[in-house]
């Protein structure tokens, strides 16, 4: 009975994380409407989260400074958050999320390069399914090449690439202190998103950080608390469930994202997106399915380690 309750609670923690990230486009769009660009919103939100992490684990700062390989995780995580949050705010939520979850492609290639994992026929099948799904999602209605049509599409692709890199680096440096890895991922959102926002503001490409106002400041604090709660739920679930099951549950984020976008009237779910998304989901599930590989793929064990 205790095991059943623990398993249920662990799945609930993962579902909480998927829900928070699946609907995160909505508060980011509202903050954008208040004059807070998604890059600035990401930087400020993660600044609050980073501060809370440092207050809870002061030793994480020293551990992060001493473990230089984690700086790569900091940059990869920061780029992931900047690209994803900017993409779902400015573009089609469903397309951006589906393109972001092309991770089986990038994770497999990066794992071959950085972790020396061998390529198998089943790995090739996952790559083919994911790429076929992307082509279906991106195929223009009036013909032409199935390439990203909007800057937000590119942000989804780039965000997924950095997410895969982050996952592979987490596995490569899994021996480092957990609090240092967590701080690196939160601090990355501040440094990368804030740095890009400052650069674009200097060139007049985006609006500067607006003056402090209670409404957007409250939104940022609530969003930061939601991210922290999601991350705690994610860590609780990932530590108590098999990595394959963790990866499968985490794919529910796609359902939450697309479903919330349709229900709130922000997007229209086309047959093309459903079919292409199904192929991408199948590629992810194959990567997590028990017995598909002798060791967990680069996506499965690390979806539950990242604040995103």
pLDDT in tens, 70-125: 999 999 999 999 999 999 999 988 889 888 887 767 877 777 777 676 777 777 77
Let me know: does 20 contact 230? Beta carbons within 8 Å. Answer: yes
The confidence band for 143, taking pLDDT boundaries of 50, 70 and 90, is low
pLDDT in tens, 70-83: 999 999 999 999 99
Query: 260: domain range?
Result: 2-305
Answer whether residue 182 shows pLDDT above 80: yes
Q: Are 299 and 106 in contact (CB under 8 A)?
A: no
Count the domains in the chain: 1
Helices and strands counted in the chain (H then E): 14, 0
CB 263 within 8 A of CB 26: no
Under the banding of pLDDT at 50, 70 and 90, the label for residue 247 is low
If you compute the radius of gyration of the chain from its CA atoms, what whole number of angstroms results?
19
Q: Which residue has the higher pLDDT, 40 or 123?
A: 40
């Amino acid at each position: 009975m205790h095991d059943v309750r623990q398993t249920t609670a662990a799945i609930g923690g993962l579902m909480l994380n998927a829900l928070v990230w699946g609907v995160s486009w909505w508060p980011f769009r509202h903050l954008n409407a208040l004059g807070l660009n998604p890059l600035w919103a990401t930087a400020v939100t993660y600044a609050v989260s980073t501060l809370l992490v440092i207050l809870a684990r002061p030793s994480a700062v020293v551990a992060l400074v001493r473990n230089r390989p984690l700086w790569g995780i900091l940059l990869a995580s920061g780029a992931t958050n900047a690209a994803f949050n900017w993409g779902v705010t400015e573009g089609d939520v469903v397309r951006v999320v589906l393109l972001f979850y092309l991770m089986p492609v990038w994770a497999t290639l990066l794992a071959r390069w950085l972790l020396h994992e061998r390529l198998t026929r089943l790995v090739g099948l996952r790559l083919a399914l994911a790429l076929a799904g992307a082509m279906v999602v991106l195929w223009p209605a009036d013909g032409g090449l199935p390439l990203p049509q909007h800057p937000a599409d590119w942000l989804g692709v780039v965000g997924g690439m950095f997410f895969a890199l982050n996952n592979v680096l987490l596995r490569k440096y899994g021996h480092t202190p957990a609090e240092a890895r967590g701080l690196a991922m939160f601090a990355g959102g501040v440094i990368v998103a804030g740095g890009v926002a400052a650069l674009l503001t200097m060139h007049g490409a985006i609006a500067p950080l607006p003056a402090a106002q209670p409404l957007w400041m409250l939104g940022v604090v609530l969003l930061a608390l939601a991210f922290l709660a999601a991350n705690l739920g994610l860590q609780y679930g990932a530590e108590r469930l098999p990595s394959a099951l963790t990866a499968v549950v985490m794919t529910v984020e796609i359902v939450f994202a697309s479903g919330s976008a349709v229900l709130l009237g922000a997007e229209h779910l086309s047959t093309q997106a459903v079919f292409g998304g199904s192929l991408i989901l199948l590629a992810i599930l194959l990567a997590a399915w028990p017995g598909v590989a002798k060791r967990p793929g680069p996506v499965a064990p690390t979806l539950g380690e990242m604040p995103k």
